[in-house]
Amino acid sequence: MSIRRRFGPAFLASLAWHIAIVAMLWLATRAATRPVRSATVLPDRTITHMVWLNDPGPGGGGGGGGNRMTDPPRRAELPGNDTITVRASRPRALDVSKPATHEQEPVQQLAIPVATLAAATESLPGAIEAPPGPPTLSQGPGRDGGAGTGTGPGDGPGRGPGLGPGRDGGTDGGGFRPGNGVTQPIEIRKGTPQYTADAMRARIQGSIIVECVVQTSGVCTNIHVTRSFDPAFGLDQEAIKAAGQWRFRPGTRGGEPVPVRVTMEIAFALR
């Protein structure tokens, strides 16, 4: 009991001392964090110009004009029920009984001096006058309206409607060209070309292009070389002989056999 009474005042004094220290520290930290305000010192100079800024605010009101009329003011009236649409007037009827007349301007007569000339046909003394002959389609010494010395409506010394020395509608030697209703002849048997002794010694090889007319019997006629690779060794004649050995099923035109011109390639190769 004596010990408790002895330490009681000391404990209270120590507690009061600690509270005072904590309060002092709190006040010191608060004073250190407070911002320090410094006075702004303006330079000592004379203001030469000023800039006015627009400060938005309420707009000002306008003044009213005075009524200078001598008449007394009108009384207030309520809106009425009268219509504001004005009725349109009736259209006037047009008088169409009399059509409008347009007077034509008089045509001025042209006065042109005209002299009578002689007729276009002039008779020469000594000329034999005879009526012209009947019209003809012939354009040469041939017959049947063709052009040239041949027969028929063709052109050239041939016969028929063809062109050139051929006949039956072909060109340049007779026969039709494949196409336009003319079918191609079909090969049945092929001829084999033979080498000449000079060509064998020279050991030359190549192809010769020949052209011929396949007749309705399937035999080649009018054979001639159109491209030769070396005519010095007599292979052109051998190519013509080989083309004469070929046999064809003739071409047709409208279902009927007709002569058809074809081109063949004769190959010469050493084995």
Least confident of 70-84, 121-135, 182-196, 247-261: 121-135
Tally of domains within the chain:
2
- Asked whether residue 81 is assigned to any structural domain, the reply reads no
- The vertex-28 CA angle with 24 and 33, nearest 5°, equals 150
Is the residue at 64 inside a domain? no
**Would you say the pTM of this structure is higher than 0.75?**
no
Task: Give the pLDDT score at 135.
Answer: 56
One domain, residues 257 and 217: yes
10 Cβ partners below 8 Å, 6+ apart? none
pLDDT in tens, 64-88: 555 566 777 777 666 666 656 666 6
Other Cβ atoms closer than 10 A to 110? 5
Tens of pLDDT, residue by residue over 87-112, are 667 777 776 666 666 677 877 777 77
Q: 230 lies in a domain? A: yes
Interatomic CA distance for residues 142 and 139, integer angstroms: 8
Same domain, 164 and 193: no
200's enclosing H/E stretch is: helix 197-202
Give the residue numbers spanning the domain of 200. 186-268
Q: Is residue 234 part of a domain?
A: yes
pLDDT at 1: 47
CATH number of the domain that 214 lies in?
3.30.2420.10
Is 207 within a domain? yes
Domain annotation covers residue 203: yes
259 in a structural domain: yes
Query: Is residue 200 located within the same domain as residue 261?
Result: yes
